[in-house]
Amino acid sequence: MGEKPVLLFVHGAWHPPKCYNAIKTALTNLGYECVIPKLPSVGPESHGVTWEADEAKIIETAEPFFNQGHEVVLIAHSYGGIPATAATESQGTEERVKRGLKGGFHSIIFLAAFAIPVKGWDLITTFGGAYPPWLRASEKYTKARMIKAFIPLY
């Protein structure tokens, strides 16, 4: 990675992009290009929107940088770790080179984020199969299976 990568922040469920303005400014002042797209599943208008829509938004945001030959580092906070991990499927720099494509995701940084470590697991499985005793769910839980983490986590 010769030039500085593009930093793509994937915000948490209760942290809209503006919450990251201070760190974005600091990193921009150090010469990094930073982007923080608003995830479609976040906000009052998002009922029924799932992590798959967020995954698509991440890829849509990254693709122009890939096409310019840039590597992108994902910085995923809280819930953002779920769609960020999913977005890496077939989009890593090495995978893209093998297909004759430029750019790609170089790495992912989990910032107090959820990481789903096994293909087919969901967040509840990651918690051991049940909600933690301190968590009270107000709506019926609907499972959405997670795909494999394509950038090695360890």
Tell me the CATH number at 43: 3.40.50.1820
149, part of any domain: no
**Count of domains observed in the chain:** 1
Write down the pLDDT at residue 83. Answer: 93
Write down the pLDDT at residue 154. Answer: 41
Domain that holds residue 17: 6-126
Residue 98 CA, distance from chain mean position:
23
Q: How far apart are CA 33 and CA 23, in angstroms?
A: 12
Regarding pTM above 0.75, the answer is yes
> Strand, coil or helix: what is 104?
strand
DSSP 41-98: TSSGGGTT--HHHHHHHHHHHHHHHHHTT-EEEEEEEGGGHHHHHHHTTTTBHHHHHH
> Strand, coil or helix: what is 44?
helix
- The residue among 67, 61, 151, 63 whose CA lies nearest residue 106 is 151
Is the separation of the CB atoms in 9 and 35 below 8 Å? yes
152, part of any domain: no
Write down the pLDDT at residue 2. Answer: 60
Flag residues of the chain having pLDDT under 70. Answer: 1-2, 135-154
Is the separation of the CB atoms in 12 and 79 below 8 Å? yes
12, part of any domain: yes
Write down the pLDDT at residue 124. Answer: 76
